[in-house]
Structure formats: structure tokens, C-alpha cells
Structure 1
Amino acid sequence: MLARLAELPLLVVLLGLAGAIALVPAVYAFGVNDHEHARDFFYSALILLVLTVMLGIATAAYLPRDPARSHLAALVLAYAILPFALALPLMEALPDTSLVNAWFEMVSAFSTTGASVYPPDRLADAVHLWRATVGWFGGFLIILAAYAILAPLNLGGTEVSSGRVPGRGAAGTAQVARTADPALRLTRFALMLFPVYGSITFLLWCGLLVLGESGISALIHAMGTLSTSGITGATAFQDAGAGAGGEVLIFLCFAFAITRRALPGVRLAENRRPLLKDPELRLAALLVLSVTLILFLRHWFVATETEGDAAEVLPSFWGILFTATSFLTTTGYVSSHWQTAADWSGIGTPGLVLLGLAIMGGGTATAAGGVKLLRVYALLRHGERELEKIIHPNSIGRGGTEARRLRREGAQFAWVFFMLFATSIAVVSALLLLAGVGFEQTMVLAIAALTTTGQLAELGAAQPIAYHDLGDPVKIILGLAMVVGRLETLALLALILPSRGRR
């Protein structure tokens, strides 16, 4: 059966999975006697599944000329088409909503951005669970795509470590049919990654339940953590009930968004090295600890007018540490001690710091967004080597072939991506300004969309930005920006530009 499914176009399979996951909130709503929402999600699931079967029969004999680029195109089309299919259950559950709002909500969830145009108290628990399930599905899809689609084409950050031109596979791999077949790669990595991804989500859910969260809230937060969507239900994360213990569990799970090597059971050649020597993990630790210490120590060296109780020392330190790590991984959960930490540092909400952390982003081949830590690491190593050459012009770079490739070709590709990312911010900001949004709000919204960190709208500006107050043109611009931020500009360029012209 898996072999027959692998022969179908990827977009058809994803549509079928979208219909299958709609059964999750349907079962939940039926279990809590919310029969109206149970029917909405069940009927929507049936419609999507029937449509999938019809499309599967019609496309059963489809054979693409270039399977690798065909799967990349299917991934791009998934973010263009699937949000409309995912919006069907939402529009059934909310008959008074508009298509633009439903589309924006699903694009935000599917791209793991986590922005919402609906007040939490307007949505039933089944609808909140649907948003979290879509985000969880989107998080797994981008991880799977990073291994099975983007990595063979040297995209998604792989080009930094490989040193090869983005959009082209490794020379000679086309000779190995079983290795080069994207359908087989997708099946193999899906069977490898999904049990790990699902098991960690289940264990985190159980841990949050034990620590005092309600069942639906714990499940939503577990899904939001593993997918880095940061989606919450009717109860805000700060008031969920798990307390500091729940934040510690989620903090440990942030490691899966910092480095892909943290996933247990995933057989990779690079996993043979100790995890503590992983460059992304060490760079993330340096960034988070630096931000935490700067904001924490500001209480004594700069904010002399603020007063703090001795009992607020540890809560303030933890609030900064947890929130900084959360935004670095583009999750966006805020610690229950964040306000205490903001008062302790004396600068209120350090929105610019959170914006910078979100731009750096998490690890490659994870669900996190942003520029990615490996690209930042490559640029830092390149800068370090250039300083060494200024002091000792005849010195030889250390670290071996891999380190030299990272400092040269890897840093070049990282700089190209960073410039494309900055250009994307400028383009989205210009479009938002033309749509009538203020300058400060424009910068925050553009960065929030392109880094897939929707919670920046609440903490990134001096005053919180409400998505439901934005006009439809602004929502459409932000929705498209979320897709660009999720897929990355290099992947879109690799699909658009002719493959024969790249060397």
C-alpha cells in the first residue's frame, strides 16, 4: 500500500493527509459531546478524502520528467493550494467568517507561524485543536521535506555544509537509482521521522498533563512546541497550569528546533559526533546566554531606578532564558515570568532583542524558521578566519577540509541567503507601507511573517498589534510572506530558474 501511495503525486498525498487529520478534531468534538463541530470536521474530512481518491485515480499514471524538481514544485504548490482545503473545516465551524480570514489562519498554522485573526474566546476547543493539528502537520512536512526534497537539491541550509550550488544535486548521485528516487526517499524518511516526531509529542503531552494542564491545552502546547508554531488554545500559555515544570519540559524540547541531531533514532553520519560539539547547539547556547545575562545584569548596572525583590532573581533569570530560547527557535511561547523579567531589567518589553533572535532562527532541517543558525555560524567562522589572516597573512586555516569548505563556499552561500532575506524584508515592508500600515508595525509584521514567528506582533512593537484589526490586503501580503519565509527564497529561485544554467 505504501508503494502505491508513493507512486501518487505528492500534492495528492498531502491533500489526503489534510483530510485525514481533520478527523482528529472530529473525534475530540464527538468525545466532548460537541456534535455540531464533530459533524463539521467529519463531513469536511469526507469531502477532502473523496476528492483525494478521485484525483489519485486521475493521476495514477503521472510520470514527471524530473522527479526531484517535481517534488519541489509540489511542495511549493502545497503551500499555495492546501490552505484553501484546510480552510474548509474552519469555514464550516465558523459560518460567519470570511474566506480571507480562514485562508490567513490556515496559512499561518500550516507555515508554523502561529498568528491568529480570531480572539481565543471566539473559537471552540475543537477549532483550537484543528489549528494546532494543522501546525503540527506543517511542522512535520517541512522537516520531512528538508531531508527528502531540499537536502538532495542542496537547499534549506544544506548548501552551507556541502559547499555545492543550491538547486543542484551532488554529482554522480543520479547514477544510483534507489538513492536518487525522491518517492523512495520520502517514504523512507517519513517512516523514520514520523514515529520519533509523534512519540516526542506524545511524551510532552503526557508530561504537561502530569504537571497540571488540562488535556486539550496540554495537547495543543505539545503540538505547538514540536512544530514551533507556538499555537495556544483558549487558555494562554502563561496561564496553562503546568507552571515552571511545564516550561522546563518545553525548554528541553526546544533542542529539537535548534539542531536536527537532537532527534533520537534518526540515523545520520553526522550523529556520530558528540551532540555537545554541534555548532548550531553551541551557537544557540552562546546567543541565548548572552542575551539573558545582558538583560538580567542590566538591573544592577543600568536600571538603577528599578527595585527588585530577592525572590524575583531566579524567576527573572528563567523568564528571560525561556522566552529568548523560544523566540530563537521561532516558537514564540512566552514564560509566565516574562513580565517579572521585563520589570527586572528595566526596559519593559525588549522587542528589538526578540526580533533579532527570531531573524537568526533555529537549526537546519528543523521546523524552525529564520536565517538558520548554521548560516550564521558559517559567517562567524569566515569573519574569524579573515581576522586571523590580517594578523598572520601566511597562516593556514585549521579544522580540515570540512571547516575550510564551511568558511569559503558555505559562507558565500550564507551571505547570499542573508541578502535575499534582507531583500524580502524590504519588499514585504514596502508592500505593507503601500497598504497603509505604519512604519514600526510594518517592520514587526514583515519580520514576524518571514521568520514564521507570529507572536512577534504582540511583543515586538511598543504596542501589541492585533491581526484581526488588519485589512484584507494586509492579510494577503502577510500570508504570502509566511509562505516565502517557510519555503526560503533560495528554494523558490531554484524552482523558477532553469536548472541547466546553474553550475
Structure 2
Amino acid sequence: MNYSIIFYIIGWILKLEAIFMFLPGITAVIYGETSGFAFLITIIICLALGIPLTWKKPSKKAFYTKEGFVTVALSWIVLSIMGALPFIFSGSIPNPVDAIFETVSGFTTTGASILADVEILPHCVLIWRSFTHWIGGMGVLVFILSLLPLTGGYHMNLMKAESPGPSVSKLVPKVQSTAKILYGIYFVMTVIQIILLLLGGMPLFDSLCAAFGTAGTGGFGIKSDSMAGYSTYLQVVITIFMILFGINFNAYFLLITRKFAQAFKMEEVRYYLGIIAIAVLIITCNIYHMYGSVSESLQQAAFQVGSIITTTGYATTDFNLWPEISRTILVMLMFIGACAGSTGGGIKVSRILILCKTIRKELHIFLHPNAVKKIKMDGKVIPHEVLRSTNIFIIVYILIIAGSVFLIAFDDFDLITNFTAVTATFNNIGPGLELVGPIGNFGMFSWFSKIVLTFDMLAGRLEIFPLLLLFVRDTWKKF
């Protein structure tokens, strides 16, 4: 294990987080809020720890998959702990477990909250909650790769460990250039959404928070009713951008480089949009009697489907009151999730496609034992390594959900609440059903259950294995 390079990158994470905290700090100055001192103190702590760690570049450049996974996992843990300090210092969330839960929920773009009334929080704290979504959406290590002139062959190991999906590919020969392209697309789309929200009459502060939450597919709102209080136009804009940020960013790169044929041939994107269309159609018909208008039913259905499948978690209505068919569809969408290579969570549409193609292949082999059949995606043969990792991912995924539901059952809440709480946190969605529905929160869980759900949020965002490797003894051995 190359500890020197790991500590070096963690040092840069701390310095970068200090820079990020200038936004809530400036917000505190603008609104004259004393809570801004909490961010100033945290900035000093981050720099005091980060500067010594980056003072000297590591001499050893060896950086393999193991180091990549461990670095990503530790970076996210450190990022979350330091990000929780302003909540504690400002008194907004004095309980450390609650503060870390809220911060992890922000960085992992989950949007599950322990707060019953967010409107009482200072503006600087509100914008920090939302900004954590934007930071964690694309991935903080990807951001570092786009800025730092790092050398060596370890860049891809960091991207593989942090980027969502069964596989990660370079858009251009240099990984650093790929990271810059990804964040460039991410930034431009965020700015476009902010402009459209401003044109719809949304205040600048609200526009920034809403765009940060949408871009990162996070879902922290600054109003107690989430997005219900905004106009239909603003809700439609947010719906569209939630869906857009759930699309594989490779598709946008192909469109920018005018490779339109390749972009439109991406199976995952086509199925992703198809699933959304079918779900919206069924739910619209199912809830029509509740709203009495096709347009309103369609708008509400589209918003909630877009919010759930992209794992954003915003809400315009209490879908916990919808008929069982609609609620069942939303729970199913929680598992499917968005596209690989997007800011969304869940299993990912690509993995669902791979599993379906694998099942079809096995059925074909039963009928034709001597046949040789390759599984393809976008016309390319899927490597055996990807198939194997997908199958293992699903097995571990099921085991973690089962184990987490069992552990939080000791709080003695109903099964639907427990199951959807785990599903919503592990898939980085936010709201579930019953007690953790759109108008509920996670504050009633015990400190033990919150720790379990915090683990689920981190494991879900980091695609499970980077976090699990921290608990394997051989990981820490020097070879």
C-alpha cells in the first residue's frame, strides 16, 4: 500500500473543501449571518491539516487499483467529516451523528434529511447543504484530476473507483482531459439551468440551491414543501434537467463532437428514456382521478418519475398518498436508477440491461447447448470482467439491503418505512414511503440506525466495493 500518495491526495481534498466553503462564507457576509464563523473555523482546520499533507510530493508513484479504491473511500469519509463541522459549530445540527448523516446525504447526493424544518436554517447553511450535492454529483476526485498536474498511470484507478457504473472509459486519450470535459459539461448545464430558473422568476439564492440539487441529483430543498411552492414553469424546468443529468455524460460528449449516430445508438440512454416514458404514462392514468386534469396529472407524474429514477428526491406532492400501482412503480424506479456515467444513483440502467441480456443468453444456451453467444452493448462485446463484476455487484447489493433492513428493524418501525429508508439511502434517492415519505424525515431513527444508513449512502455512491475494501485486512498490508 502506497500510503504517501493516499495522504497526498487526501491533503488536496482538504484544501479543496476549504475553497468550496468560501461560497457559504460569502453568503453569510451578504446576509449578515454570524453562522459564517462556523465555516471560517472549518476552513482553518481544513487548511491546517491539508497543507502539511501536500507540502511534499510523494516519491513513490506506484498507484494501483487497491490504492485507488482506498483513496476514494477515505477521501469521501474525510470530506464528510469536515463538511459536517459547520453544522455542529453553527448549532444548526449540534448532534455529531446527525450532522454527519446530513453531510454524507449531501455529498452522496442522497437528499435524506434528519431536519424537520429546513426554513429556520441560516442562508449560509442552506447553500452549503445544496452545494454539497453539486460537489459530490460528478465526484470530488474527478474534479481534482481536472485541476492537478498529477503524473503517473494511476488516474484511471481513481476514476474507476469514484465514477458510477459498471465500467469507465476515457473520452480522450488523457484522463486529465477527460475529467476537464466532464466537469465542463457539468458546469455549463448547471449555469443554463440557473439562467432558466431566473427567467421563471425564481430568486437567485433559490435558483442556485435548486440547480445544485438538480445537477448533483441530490434533492436537498430550502423549503419545507420541497418544490411544491414553485410555479409550474419552474417545476417543468427542474423536471427536464433532472432527467438530463441522469443521462450518461458520454452521450453529451458525442453530441458535442458531432458524433450523432453514436450518441443515438447508446442503448442505455434509449432504455432510460423509454422507462421514464412508460412510467409517466402509467402513473398519469393512475392518478388522474386525484387531480382531475390530464396536464396536471402528467406534470406531477413526470416530476416524480424524473426525481425518483434519477435519484434526485425532490417532490411537488406527497406521492405517499398515491395509489398502490403508482407507489410500486416509484419503488421499482428507485432500484433501476439513472444511467452509468451520470450523477444519478441506483443500480444503473446499464447493469439492468446487462443482467437481462445475460438471462436471455442463459435461456438460449439451455435450448442450444453448443451455441456460442456473445453479450453485446451498443454493438460491442461486453468483456467477461464486466459481466462478472455486474453479477457480484448485484449479489452484494442484495446482501447489504437485507442486512441493513434487519439492523434498523430494532427501532421497531413498520417494514415499509424500514425497507424504503434503506432503499432510498442505499440508492441515494432521499425520500421513501410512510414515515420517511416526502413530508417525513429520518430524524426519528436511533443513532445506530443512522450510522447504518450513513454507511448505505456512502456504499451506494461509491458503488459498494471501495468502501468494503476498508474492512479487508489484506488491503492495509505493504507488499
**TM above 0.5, one fold?**
yes
Match of 1:490 among 443, 465, 469: 465
Aligned to 1:415: 391
Match of 2:206 among 200, 204, 217: 217
Q: For residues 51-450 of structure 1, what are the structure 2 equivalents within 5 Å?
A: 51-57=49-55, 60-61=57-58, 63=60, 65-94=62-91, 97-118=94-115, 119-141=117-139, 144=142, 148-149=156-157, 156-159=164-167, 185=175, 187-234=176-223, 236-264=225-253, 273-298=261-286, 306=289, 309=292, 312-334=293-315, 336=316, 338=317, 347=323, 350-387=326-363, 403=379, 405-406=381-382, 410-450=386-426
Whole-Å separation in 2 of the counterparts to 1:393 and 1:204: 53
Q: Secondary structure at the match of 1:9?
A: helix
- What is the deviation of 1:79? 2.4
Verify the 8 A CA contact 1:142 1:366 in the aligned structure 2.
Answer: no
Amino acid at match of 1:473: F
Aligned to 1:29: 28
Alpha-carbon displacement from aligned partner over 1:61-83 (angstroms, at most 9, x marks no partner): 35364354323211101222221
- What is the deviation of 1:85? 0.8
Match of 1:478 among 441, 453, 471: 453
Whole-Å separation in 2 of the counterparts to 1:48 and 1:9: 14
Whole-Å separation in 1 of the counterparts to 2:82 and 2:330: 33
Verify the 8 A CA contact 2:417 2:432 in the aligned structure 1.
Answer: no
Alpha-carbon displacement from aligned partner over 1:265-285 (angstroms, at most 9, x marks no partner): 8989x9664323211111112
Alpha-carbon displacement from aligned partner over 1:398-449 (angstroms, at most 9, x marks no partner): 8879757339664443232112111110111111123444322211111111
Whole-Å separation in 2 of the counterparts to 1:78 and 1:423: 25
- What is the deviation of 1:375? 0.6
Query: Quick check: 225-234 or 252-261, which moved more?
Result: 252-261
Verify the 8 A CA contact 1:143 1:366 in the aligned structure 2.
Answer: no
Whole-Å separation in 2 of the counterparts to 1:490 and 1:328: 23
Number of aligned residue pairs: 458
Measured at CA, do residues 45 and 342 of structure 1 come closer, stay the same or move farther in structure 2, by a change above 3 Å? closer
Measured at CA, do residues 80 and 142 of structure 1 come closer, stay the same or move farther in structure 2, by a change above 3 Å? same
Alpha-carbon displacement from aligned partner over 1:244-266 (angstroms, at most 9, x marks no partner): 34423541452232222243489
- CA-atom RMSD, angstroms? 3.7
Report the TM-score when normalising by structure 2: 0.83
Whole-Å separation in 1 of the counterparts to 2:367 and 2:68: 48
Identity across the alignment (%): 22
Query: Quick check: 398-407 or 361-370, which moved more?
Result: 398-407
Alpha-carbon displacement from aligned partner over 1:366-417 (angstroms, at most 9, x marks no partner): 2211111111011222334455566777877588797573396644432321
Q: Secondary structure at the match of 2:111?
A: coil
Amino acid at match of 1:351: R
Verify the 8 A CA contact 2:251 2:266 in the aligned structure 1.
Answer: no
Measured at CA, do residues 241 and 53 of structure 1 come closer, stay the same or move farther in structure 2, by a change above 3 Å? same
Q: Secondary structure at the match of 2:35?
A: helix
Measured at CA, do residues 142 and 149 of structure 1 come closer, stay the same or move farther in structure 2, by a change above 3 Å? farther
Q: Secondary structure at the match of 1:456?
A: coil
Verify the 8 A CA contact 2:111 2:428 in the aligned structure 1.
Answer: yes
Whole-Å separation in 1 of the counterparts to 2:418 and 2:320: 24
Query: Quick check: 188-197 or 77-86, which moved more?
Result: 188-197
Measured at CA, do residues 438 and 342 of structure 1 come closer, stay the same or move farther in structure 2, by a change above 3 Å? closer
Whole-Å separation in 1 of the counterparts to 2:295 and 2:387: 39
Q: Secondary structure at the match of 1:467?
A: coil
Report the TM-score when normalising by structure 1: 0.79
- What is the deviation of 1:287? 1.5
Q: Secondary structure at the match of 1:453?
A: coil
